[in-house]
Chain A
Amino acid sequence: MTGITPGLIMTAAGAAGIAGCLIGLLVTAVVFPKQRKKLLRAIETE
């Protein structure tokens, strides 16, 4: 294989995207429950 081919670009972009999405999902798994808890506390103490 020589040079940067469309297949290589697609694979690299896909892999980077997968990694990004997985990191994003991981962040949401940590951050979202905290957001919900915080809001619930705020609602309860109103």
Chain B
Amino acid sequence: MSGLDNFSDTYEIIEKLGEGAGGIVYKAYHKRLRQEVVIKQHRKSMSSLEGRRRETDILKNLNHTYLPQVHDFLETDDGVYTVMSYVPGKSFAQLLAEGYSFAPKELIRWGMQICSALNYLHSQEPPVIHCDIKPSNIMLTPKGDICLIDFNISFYLGDRAVLGYTNGYTSPEQYIMALSSESGQNIPGDVRIDERTDIYSVGATLYHLATGQRLSGCREKADIKYLTGFTGDSLAQVIGKALKIDPGQRFQSAYEMFRALENIPKKDRRYVRLLHRQTAVRAVLVALLAGFIVLCGYGVSEIKREKMKEYNDLVAEQISYIEEGNFEAQEEAYRKASELIPSSLESYYQNAYALYRQEKYEECISFVDYDICRNEKLDLLQARMADVYYLKADSCFRLERYEESADTYEEVMRMGTQHAEYYRDYAITLAYNSEEEEAQKVLQEAIDRGLKEDSVYYAKGEIEKALLRPDAALQEFIQCIAVTDDDEMKTRAYLTMGDIYEEKGSNTSKRDILLEARENVPAEEQIQVLERLAAVDIELSDSTGRQEYREEAIEVLNQIISQGWDTFDTLDTLAIQYEKQGDIEKARQTADQMLESYGEDYRTYMRYAFLEIDAQELKSNTQRDYTQFAQYYEKAARLYEEQVKDNNSDAQMQLLEDVYGQVREGGWLE
């Protein structure tokens, strides 16, 4: 105790805690700090001063929950002393001696704490290897945590000097190095101390704690089956791996062993079962998710398909309505189709075609220009646009806007159409636009593209007509009619021939050719033929006064009505013809039909009024009664104001007003 007297002003020795190979350990009281400390007196023979300083320096630099804190290092003539915090409690060696039975969960928890402390030591720079882990160097504090003490043989990694060993806990490689060092022999080159040395010692310590028996030596292979009886399979496997003779087969770091210990509860059967159950639930959910994604995707594609089918049905309806001449229904179908898929061109095309078929050329052109060409939803570069432009070009042609028509045909050509008929009509347009040379070139291109013979004659006829060579044109049309089996073309040829005769001032020839057309074209193509025939008959009747022309006109108009092609004007014209024939009764019946078919229209009452005037004129003055006439007139005048914005535009209405005025002035009305 003589050396300790040197520190009596600072420390008061309480008791001697123990004595071992490393030195004597005292429990003391630090007077100034007023706390219990441990003073370790190092044996001089144990190590050099430098070695002792090493241990202290190592410990002084460390700060970890499971390691003691070194406070001081004292050196006197009598010895060297290390002062460190007092760790209350018992060492595992004491607990073993008392017969304490370590439960597996305690071994796991404390094993993890040891590994945590070791991981801290091993992660120092340079790494610190404890080299003396054993039950007596592990304190269990009152809090239930461990504290790793006694570093008197701690070892900086890379330093090949080993300070000692403890049989039963020391790893084989440390044992070999210690023996070699003691006997002065060279240390074998493949033997080295590293983190795995401490891993072995932890394994040996845990083995001892679990079984109550320590390994007899480093060469003894741990009996894992025996160990399993105390710890269970999972912990025994971890300890067994730590105790492998070959360091390469042990845990490669304290952290790895820490994780292995941490994961032991996860190897519990209940935990594994829970994991499997959770994995199964997740797998089912993922499989269901995949299934629903597929179902949803299929549903979306099905909706698209259904939408496309509905759209195609509507377009088919449009085509069918156009064929039937039911243009209102066609327009309704167009609206539905274009609302359904606004980006699809086909319904737009059909609607433009319907306008074209109704000879509403202005509307057709506007529709193409505004509803199609300025529609951002439509792809205007698709091939079908050639057909759309064709409708516009031909509409312009029919309105005799040849320049605009030719420009539009250029658009048709730019779209890359393969229709030879489009080239044919382009050639005709060019001819009408006084571009004969260009017209011939385009016609030749049409022929090169396989334009049929009848079309060639037709085109040539139109070109000749445009170039004011009517006789040559007639010849070409006759040839066309002779060879063609296309009823539409035949009709167009007849009609154009009629126009040529009209231009030549020969209405009888026009009538003849239209009569021939009436015989030779099928019923569905006859509407224009009949309309023109009726018109030319009326003209001939009016100009010659021959009633057979009027009778023919009446018969033709009745045919138009019976076919269902009639319009308001058809009935009105028929009523006028009956009136001119003097058949007032039939004229009235026709006016009744107008009222029935077209409802309240000022023109119907205007017709009634004119018929009433004629009817009264057939009577003697005493029998005349203009009351009915006045009623018709007043109704026509009222409707005229309602229905016609610019109510000075109808000359017949003006005439009726004059007649009404004369009747009033004549005193026929009260």
Name A's B-contacting residues (CB within 8 A): 1-2, 5-18, 20-22, 24-25, 28, 32, 35-36, 39-40, 43-46
Contact = CB atoms under 8 A, between A and B. Distances in A.
A11 B265 contact: no
Interface residues of B, number: 35
Interface stretch (B32-40, B283-291, B467-475): B283-291
Contact of A1 (B271, B275, B286, B307): B307
B522 interface: no
Nearest to A14: B296
A10 B299 CA distance: 5
Contacts of B275: 36
Interface string B241-284: 00000000000000000000000011010110011001001100
Nearest to A15: B296
A12 B510 CA distance: 67
Nearest to A32: B278
B303 A7 contact: yes
A13 B299 contact: yes
B270 A7 contact: no
B126 interface: no
B299 A7 contact: yes
Given A1-B307, A1-B340, A9-B299, 6 more contacts: A11-B300, A14-B295, A17-B291, A18-B289, A21-B289, A35-B278
Nearest to A13: B295
A43 B302 CA distance: 53
Contacts of B265: 40, 43-44
A12 B292 CA distance: 10
B226 interface: no
B interface majority secondary structure: helix
A36 B271 contact: yes
Contact of A8 (B271, B281, B299): B299
B59 to A, nearest CB: 32
A2 to B, nearest CB: 8
19 contacts: A6-B306, A7-B304, A10-B296, A10-B299, A11-B300, A11-B302, A13-B295, A14-B297, A16-B292, A17-B288, A17-B295, A18-B296, A21-B292, A22-B289, A25-B285, A36-B274, A36-B275, A39-B270, A44-B265
B286 A25 contact: yes
Contacts of B281: 28
Interface of B: 105, 108, 265-266, 268, 270-271, 274-275, 278, 281-282, 285-286, 288-289, 291-307, 310, 340
Contacts of B303: 1, 5, 7-8, 11
B270 A43 contact: yes
Contacts, number: 98
A20 B275 CA distance: 22
A18 B292 contact: yes
Of A6, A10, A15, most buried by chain B (CB within 10 Å of CB) is A10
B293 A40 contact: no
A36 to B, nearest CB: 6
Where chain A touches its partner, the secondary structure class is helix
Contacts of B297: 14
Nearest to B282: A28
Contact of B302 (A6, A17, A45): A6
Nearest to A41: B265
A5 B278 contact: no
B299 A1 contact: no
B105 A44 contact: yes
6 closest A-B pairs by beta carbon, nearest first, are A14-B296, A10-B299, A17-B292, A7-B302, A11-B299, A7-B303
A36 B299 contact: no
Q: Which of B108, B278, B296 has the most A CB atoms < 10 Å from its CB?
A: B296
B235 to A, nearest CB: 12
A36 B108 CA distance: 19
A24 B300 CA distance: 24
B281 to A, nearest CB: 6
A6 B291 CA distance: 17
Contacts of A9: 299
Contacts of A17: 288-289, 291-292, 295-296
A42 to B, nearest CB: 8
A16 B293 CA distance: 10
Given A7-B302, A44-B265, A14 B293 contact: yes
A16 B506 CA distance: 78
A16 B278 CA distance: 23
Contacts of B271: 36, 39-40, 43
A26 to B, nearest CB: 10
Nearest to B290: A21
A37 B105 CA distance: 16
A40 B296 contact: no
Nearest to A2: B310
A32 B293 CA distance: 24
B141 to A, nearest CB: 20
B138 to A, nearest CB: 21
A37 B242 CA distance: 27
Nearest to B298: A10
Contacts of B298: 10, 14
Contact of B299 (A12, A20, A25): A12
B302 A25 contact: no
Nearest to B303: A7
Nearest to B340: A1
A12 B300 CA distance: 9
B112 to A, nearest CB: 11
Contacts of B266: 40
Contact of B295 (A2, A10, A36): A10
Nearest to B291: A17
A40 B265 CA distance: 6
B431 to A, nearest CB: 49
B107 to A, nearest CB: 12
A6 B285 CA distance: 24
Nearest to A44: B265
B233 to A, nearest CB: 14
A22 B293 CA distance: 11
Contacts of B302: 5-7, 10-11
Contacts of B285: 21, 24-25, 28
Contacts of A21: 285-286, 288-289, 292
A20 B289 CA distance: 8
